[in-house]
Each structure stands twice: as structure tokens, then as C-alpha cells.
Amino acid sequence: MAGAIPASVAVLNEAVYTVSNKKEHIMSGCLNRAQIIGNLGQDPEVRTTQKGKRIVTINIATNESWKDEAGQKQEQTDWHRVVVFSEKLGELAEKYLKKGSKVYVDGKLRTRKWEDKEGLTHYGAEIQISAYDGSILFLDRKASTEEPAAPVAEAA
């Protein structure tokens, strides 16, 4: 039926109410979601916080191509930083992904502010996948002699 609201979403007093991974989320009519499909520019980078939590960072290239007015093919590559805070997703990314791997990423867009060694302030955007929200889908097919491809990985 067109226009039907999915069972997992209900509208309550102009706010959207969803149930995701057994947690309830109430949003005030806003949505922070970033979805990309692209290729890793390098192997995943793994670091550990002072509290012992592992954080995995992957840099993903997305490509766009078109023909200009003269009929010449033009291309543009954009780079996206993805930070995985989910232990399980980070473990799977580290195990299965490598430079060139094709992935679909679904997470939240966050901006960061930091100062460099010279004291200059920098700003940047990244897609964050937390321990409870987001997903990575490994899109590469494995050769029959290798391990089977990893399944869809979602935050627990």
C-alpha cells in the first residue's frame, strides 16, 4: 500500500519514533544519516584508547563521472573518513577489509574540531558507526578458494 508507514516506525505528535536494535529512539523530525558505497583507499587503521577500546578508521573513495559540454569524460573522487566505534564491526572490518575493498557504509555524519601542533584549529566531517547504530556491508566477492565473504555487519 502506497504511503503506508512501516511497522517499525510510528508518528507521534510530529516526532518520529523508531525501534532499532531493541532500543527506542525519538527524533524531533530530523535525520542524521550518511550512506555511501565506495572503495577503501588503504587498509583499515586500528588504534586503542587509553581505556582499552579499539577504534577502526577506514577511508573510502567515492567516484563520480560525467561528460562535459565538449563531450569529454570528467571524473571526481571524494574521500570519506569512517570511524567505527563498535567492537564487533571493527573486528570484522579489520579481518575482511583491505585497500581496494568495496563497501556500503551507513552511519551518522559528525563534525570534529581539533588543533594541530602549530595551534591552528581544523574542522572535518566523518561518518561514525557507534556500538548501537550503523552498518557496513562488504560488497566484494571472494574467489572460491578463499574464505566466504563476510555477511552484513551491523552494530549490536
Task: Classify domain 31-154 at the CATH superfamily level.
Answer: Nucleic acid-binding proteins (2.40.50.140)
For residue 4, name the pLDDT band (cuts at 50, 70, 90). low
More confident residue, 68 or 27: 68
More confident residue, 25 or 133: 133
Sheet holding 23-27, edge to edge: 9-12, 15-20, 23-27
Whose CA is closest to 97, among 82, 108, 110, 107? 82
Q: How far apart are CA 73 and CA 69, in angstroms?
A: 10
Q: How many CB atoms lie within 10 A of CB 80?
A: 18
pTM: 0.71
Whether 136 and 153 have beta carbons less than 8 Å apart is answered as yes
For 155, what's the count of Cα atoms within 13 Å in the CB-facing half-sphere?
A: 20
